[in-house]
Amino acid sequence: MELSKVTLEIFSKLEHKWLSHYQTNNKTRILSIDGGGTTAVVAGASLIHLEDQIRLQTTDPQAHITDFFDIIAGTGIGAIIAAMITAADAFGRPLYTARNAVRLIMERNSELYKVKMSGFFRRSRRFSSRSMDNVLKQVFQRKEKNGRLLTLKDTCKPLLIPCFDIKSSAPFVFSRADASDSPSFDFELWKVCHATSATPNNFKPFNFTSVDGKTSCSAVDGGLVMNNPTAAAVTHVLHNKRDFPSVNGIEDLMVLSLGNGSSSARTSENSKRSTLSVIDIVLDGVSDTIDQMLGNAFCGNRTDYVRIQAFTLGTKKEVLREKGLESLPFGGKRLLTETNGDRIESFVQRLVATGKTSTPSSPGKESAVTSVVNGR
Instruction: Express each pLDDT in 279-324 by its tens digit.
Output: 444 444 445 556 666 666 665 456 788 999 887 777 888 999 998 7
Residue among 167, 227, 161 at smallest CA distance from 374: 167
pLDDT bin (cut points 50, 70, 90) of residue 375 is very low
DSSP string, 56-87: HHHT-TT--GGGG-SEEEE-THHHHHHHHHHB
Out of 221, 243, 288, 291, the active site residue is 221
Fold type of domain 28-354: Cytosolic phospholipase A2 catalytic domain (3.40.1090)
Q: Is the pLDDT of residue 141 over 50?
A: yes
Q: Is the pLDDT of residue 58 over 60?
A: yes
Residue among 301, 302, 322, 298 at smallest CA distance from 311: 322
Domain boundaries, given as residue ranges, for the chain? 28-354
pLDDT at site 22? 40
Helix (H, G, I), strand (E, B) or coil at 242: coil
pLDDT at site 9? 59
Q: Is 221 a catalytic residue?
A: yes
Pick from 29-38, 143-152, 161-170, 359-368: least confident: 359-368
- Work out the mean pLDDT of the chain and round it to a whole number: 80
Q: Which residues of 259-296 are buried (b: 16+ CB within 10 A; e: fewer)?
A: bbbbbebbbebbeebbebeeebeebbebbbebbbebbe
